[in-house]
Chains A and B, each alone.
Chain A
Amino acid sequence: MEHELSFLIGGEAGDGIQRSGYIYAKTLLRSGYYVFGYFDYPSLIRGGHNFYLGRASTRKIYSHTEHVNILAALNQETIDRHIWRLSGESFIIYDPSRSKPPENFKGVRVEVPFEEITLEVGGRKIMRNMAAVAAMTAMTGLRIETLTDVITGVFGVEKSKLNIIIARESYNYTAKKYGRRFTLENPSPGRKIILTGNEAIAIGAVKAGLKFYSAYPMTPASPILHYLAEKQHDYDIVVIQPESEISAVNMVLGASFAGVRAMTATSGGGFSLMCETVGLAAMTETPIVIVVAQRPGPSTGIATYTGQEDLRTVLHASQSEFPRVVVAPGDVDECYQRIQEAFNISEVFQLPVIVLIDKYLGESHMSTEPFTREVKIDRGKIASGNKDYKRYRLVEDGVSPRAFPSTPNIIVRGHSSEHTEEGFATPNAVVRTKMVDKRFSKLPYIEKYIEELEPVKLYGHKDAEVLLIAWGSTKGPLLEAMKILDEEQVKVRFMQICYLEPFPTATVQEIMRNHKILVDIEGNRTGQLAGLIREKTGVEIKKRILRYDGRPFSPRMLAEKVKEVLEDGN
C-alpha cells in the first residue's frame, strides 16, 4: 500500500496528452485523492513531445515530483526521454506495436495494445489516449465508473460515447491480464476540487464581481480568457478579445472609469505593451487589475515554459514614480483569494494592482478543498449627488471619492496630464507637488491595509537556523522539498513573500533577524527578490538557489540544492 502515486503520460503534440492527464488526475480526485498535474509542451500544434506529469496522494500536495511509478507511453520517445524517472518497481504501460522499453529496464512491463483496442471498437487512432488512461485506471484499481463519469464531464454525453467504449475495453483488458498492481491507501474523506491557477483567478474574479474582461491571447495567460469567455453568459460578464494588448488594457481602464470591476491578463510581452496604461491608471487614479502570467524571456523567450523573471518588470513598469500594488499568489487557494483582494485594493486606493503568477502556477492542475474563504467586496469611496464634486479633491488619506459618469449632478473629469482638484490640466508647480504628494499619501494606508492580509507567510520550524525565502509558484515545490528535508532531519523555515509592493519591510526584517542562515530561492538568473530585499532591508542574501531553464523547481532537486548551499560555508 502506498500513500502516493506519481505518473506520467506522454506522446506527440496532438495526441491529447493534456486531456488524458487531466482525466486521469480527475479520476484520482473523484476517488478521493489529492492530485497535482504539470503539463509540459513546446509551442506547436502537432508533433513535438508533450507530457503530463501527475501525482496523487492521501495528503495534500503542492507540486509534481520527478520520479514516477507509472509511465504511460503513446510513443517510443516518451519511454526514451523519461526512463530516468523510473525505478525497479515502476511500471511502463505501452502499446507493443508502437514502442518498447529498453532491455535493461528492471521494472514491470505492461503491454496494452491501445491502438488495436481503439480501432477494433470503431474508434479513430487519435482516441487511443483513452485506452492508455483506462489502463492506468485499471492498474491502480480505481473504478471504471469513476473514469467514465469524468470522461462524460470532459467530452459531453455525445462525444464521450466512443471514448467510454474504448476506455471500458482497455480497462477490462488490463484488469484481466495484469490485475491491480498499484494500491493506494484509502483516501482522506471530504470533497475536493481540481483546478489551475488560471481558473482559480478567473473564479475569484467572478466572485469579486468582475463585469468586463478584455485580453489578447498570450501563453500562459490565455486560459483565463477561455474560461471567462465560456462563463460570460452565466455571470453577465462582457468578455472581449480586441486587436492588441494595448487595446485590451485601455478598454479595461475605460470600463473601470465608467464604474465596473474590470480586468485583463497577459504575459510579459503583452504587459510590456500595457506599460503606458499602467501609468495612465496611476495618474488618473483609476482602478485596474492586471494579471501577469510569467514565462521565460526576454522577448518571445520560451513561450510555453515557466519562470519568475518579471518581478522587476512589474515593480517598475511605466515611466515616473507612483504607488502601485504587486501581489504574487503561490497556489490555487491564494490565486482565488488574492485576486479578490486585488480588486478591493485597486478600488479602495484607486491605483493599478498587478497579480503576478507564472506558467507553472497558471497551467498546473492542483487540488484543494472547495473555496469557502470570503473576501468581502469593498469598492472604496464613491460619491453621489455632491454638487461641488471634485474628482481629485485633496484629502488627508489621498483617496478622493470616485464618481461614475451618469451620476446625477456630478461631472467627472479624469486627466492624464498633471491636474487640479477639478481635473483640469495644469503645469503649476505648487499644484504639481501637492498632487504627487496626494497620490503618495495613500502609501502608509495601503501598507496598513496589506498588513491585515497576511503579506508574508511562514512554514516549517520556527526555531530553525535556516530561513528559505521564496515567492510565487516556488511555494509548491518548496513545501514538498521541506517534507524531504524533514525526513532527513534538516530543519528549515520557509518565508513566502506574497505582497511584493508595497514591500512588507518591517515584517520581513523581523523574521530574517530570527534566523542565522538565509537562502533565496527564485526562478530567475539575478535573484530579483534577493535584490529587492537588499534594497528594502539592507540585508544581502548570498546563498541563492536560482533556476532559469524554463522548468519549475522540483522537490527532490530543491532539497538537494538546499543541503548543498548549507554545506557551503559562505
Chain B
Amino acid sequence: MGTKPLTVRELSTPKKITWCPGCGNFAILTAVKRAIVELKIKPEDVLIVSGIGCHGKISDYINVNTFHTIHGRVIPFLAGAKIANHKLVAIGFAGDGDAYSIGWGHLTHAARRNDDIVYIVHNNMVFGLTTGQYTPTSPRNFKSRSTPYGSIEEPLNPILLSLASGSTFVARAFSGDIQHLTMVIKEAIKHKGFAHVDVLQPCVTFYNTYQEFSKKIYKLEDSGHDPGNWDKAVEKAVEWPGSGDRIPIGIFYRNEERKPYTEMLSQIRDAPLVFHKIESVDISPLLEESM
C-alpha cells in the first residue's frame, strides 16, 4: 500500500450499498472506516466478520479482509481467526438478533475469556431484513409482524449483561452522532481484550427511533463517569432500558488490567500460529510414550 496515508475513500468497495436511505448503518460504516484510517491500520491487517441481517452487508462495503458468516456465530469464528493470527485487528459486526438473540451465549463466553476482539452490535431493536419482527431488545408492547398485539416480553439490557459477563470494554454509541461513534470505535479497537460496543441504530423502515433517541441521549464523559469503576458502570447500565428517560452513551467500563486471551497463550509468544512451520513435526516422543 506504499507510504501514502490511507484515505476513507480507499476503504470503499465497488459494491452498491442497499441499505435504506437514512439507515443508521451508514454512520457505523463511515465511523469504522474513519477509525481504521485515523489509527493508521493497514487494510490487509484487518479482519471483519459480519453476521446475518441488514448489518451483515457491511462486510461487502469495506475494503479490508472480510468473512460474512452465518447467523449468530460472528464471535467464535472471529475468536478462532484471532488466535490463529493474533496480529490481526479483529472486528465483528452483528445485529441485535444476531448478537442478543441467537448468538448471546457466545458473547458471555467471549467476555469471560476476554477474547481480543471488537464486537460492534447494530442494535435497532427490530429484525429488519426479515421485514420487521421483534428482537430481544424490542420494548414491551412493541407491535411487530410477529407480535401484532404487542410484545408481552421485557427487553434485555445488553450493557448490564455484558458487564456481568466480564467484558473488559463496554460502550454504547448512537448512529446519530458519528463523531462520538468514531471515538468509541477507536477506543474499542485500541482496547486489549473483549470490547463490546452497542450502537443504537434506528431502523428508518420498521422502527424509527431517531427523534426519540436524539432527545434522550446524553454522554457519559460529560457526566463525569469513571469507566474504571465497575459498580458505577452497572449503575449507569440500569438507567436504560427501564423507567429512566435518559439514555447514557459512551464508555461504561474499561478494564486494562485483565490480560486478553491471546496474551496468555505461550504457544504464540514467538510468532502467530499461522507463521509456525508445520513440515517435519517430530512425533517420536509421542510414540515413545506408547511403547
Contact = CB atoms under 8 A, between A and B. Distances in A.
B105 to A, nearest CB: 6
A212 B83 contact: yes
B290 A254 contact: no
B61 to A, nearest CB: 9
A257 B15 CA distance: 23
B77 interface: yes
A206 interface: yes
Given A254-B84, A414-B67, A212 B273 contact: yes
Residue among A208, A258, A423 with the highest chain B CB neighbour number at 10 A: A258
A253 B83 contact: no
A251 B80 contact: yes
Contact of B76 (A195, A247, A377): A247
B291 A192 contact: yes
Contacts of A416: 52, 68-70
Interface string B269-291: 00001101011010101110111
Q: Which size class do B's interface residues fall under? A: 35 or more
Given A207-B283, A250-B80, A405 B85 contact: yes
Contact of A259 (B43, B49, B85, B283): B85
A405 B109 contact: no
B84 to A, nearest CB: 4
Contacts of B283: 203, 206-207, 371
Contacts of B94: none
Given A191-B291, A193-B290, A414-B67, A211 B84 contact: yes
A258 B84 contact: yes
Categorize the interface residue count of chain A.
35 or more
Contacts of B60: 424-425
B235 interface: no
Contacts, number: 188
A358 to B, nearest CB: 21
Of A195, A255, A259, A406, which is in contact with the most chain B CB atoms at under 10 Å from its CB? A406
A242 B76 contact: yes
B85 A404 contact: yes
A262 B84 contact: yes
B59 interface: yes
Contacts of B43: 411
Contacts of B285: 234
B199 interface: no
Contact of A243 (B106, B266, B273): B106
Interface string B53-64: 000010110011
A423 B63 CA distance: 11
B106 A408 contact: no
Contacts of A192: 291
Contact of B70 (A203, A258, A276): A276
Contact of B79 (A203, A232, A251, A284): A251
A114 to B, nearest CB: 28
Given A203-B287, A251-B79, A258-B47, A211 B276 contact: yes
Report, nearest first, the 8 A-B pairs whose CB atoms are least far apart. A209-B278, A254-B80, A251-B80, A258-B84, A250-B76, A254-B77, A254-B81, A405-B65
18 contacts: A207-B281, A211-B274, A236-B267, A237-B267, A253-B77, A257-B67, A257-B77, A258-B80, A260-B276, A261-B278, A280-B73, A370-B291, A405-B47, A406-B65, A410-B44, A415-B59, A416-B52, A425-B57
Interface of A: 29-30, 153, 191-195, 199, 203, 206-209, 211-212, 214, 231-238, 240, 242-244, 246-248, 250-262, 276-277, 280, 284, 370-371, 377, 404-417, 423-425
